[in-house]
Amino acid sequence: MASGDVSVSIDGGIARLVLSNPERRNAISSGMWRTLSEFAAGCAGRTDIRVALVRGEGTLAFSGGADISDFSTARSDASGAQGYDELVESACAAVEGLSFPVVALVHGACVGAGAALAACCDLRVVSEEAFLAIPAARLGLGYDPRGVARLVRAYGSQAVRQLFFTAERLPARRAYELGAVDHLVPAGEADALAEKIVARIADNAPLTLRAAKLSIRAAQGGAGALFAEARSLTQAANASADYREGRLAFAEKRGPRFEGN
């Protein structure tokens, strides 16, 4: 029976999502994918969240992959596997499409489904003992091309080739050298750095961040509608009270106080 949960807490403009399935190295079950989709859907129109931090419970694993107990039910045949792919793709697209920045804090194993979820995030803070792995070729599992495309966008084609072709662990240091990791830090310093980064992001102008994130997504191959929406968000930022506050704060040599309007 699949288990696990995703706990969500929101404080000071920061949403913290914790993958919790410690008996299975925070493996992601079908129910956990649904919770991630529901969280993303619930963020539409919210202004109290400026950034999200995603991590696994504890420090042994971000996620050890998909919950294997799902394999005998949801993924037992080709039809089931296709349905499971749609569930995962829907959740990944929802997290990737969040309007605010998302930061992944990675300790330990970041395998399969965990690597897919980390790829949905905008920034990745990774402890030195961590590793990425995608063991699909050891399972004979066909990997959804949409997921492969997301991995390439996030990690770069060379890292993804190594992950898929060898099905071996890609140590954090090597992943960093290949550009798949944004911040590589000693294990004892990763949590503090991740918290520092999300606090810094939460202190910035949210309208600017949303416009920039959408512009980046559009530049990565999004439809023309994304460019139009990004342009609209940019214009809204330029006409906002936050822009006036930013200019005033700069002139007065003080920190700005952004309200998101």
Q: Is residue 256 part of a domain?
A: no
211 plus 98 within the same structural domain: no
Do residues 67 and 112 lie in contact, with contact meaning Cβ atoms separated by under 8 Å?
no
Task: Give me the pLDDT at residue 188, please.
Answer: 92
79 plus 154 within the same structural domain: yes
| Residue among 254, 257, 261 at smallest CA distance from 203 | 257
146 plus 219 within the same structural domain: no
Q: Would you write out the chain's pLDDT as a tens digit for each of its 261 residues?
A: 457 899 999 999 999 999 999 889 999 999 999 999 999 999 988 889 999 999 999 999 999 999 877 665 655 556 667 888 899 999 999 999 999 999 999 999 999 999 999 999 999 999 999 999 999 999 888 889 999 999 999 999 999 999 999 999 999 999 999 999 999 999 899 999 999 999 999 999 999 999 999 999 899 876 678 889 899 999 999 999 999 999 999 999 999 999 988
Q: Which two tokens stand for residue 58?
A: 């504890």
At residue 235, what are phi and psi to the nearest 5 degrees? -65, -35
**pTM over cut 0.85:** yes
> Alpha-carbon distance 258 to 25, whole Å?
39
Do residues 105 and 63 lie in contact, with contact meaning Cβ atoms separated by under 8 Å?
no
Question: 253 burial class (0-12, 13-18, 19+ CB within 10 angstroms)?
Answer: exposed
Q: Is residue 258 part of a domain?
A: no
51 plus 108 within the same structural domain: yes
> Alpha-carbon distance 187 to 259, whole Å?
34
38 plus 91 within the same structural domain: yes
Q: Which range of residues forms the domain containing residue 42?
A: 5-202
Q: Is residue 261 part of a domain?
A: no
Domain count of the fold of the chain: 2
User: CA dist 162 to 62, 72, 159, 171, 175, Å?
Assistant: 20, 28, 5, 11, 10
151 plus 217 within the same structural domain: no
Do residues 151 and 124 lie in contact, with contact meaning Cβ atoms separated by under 8 Å?
no
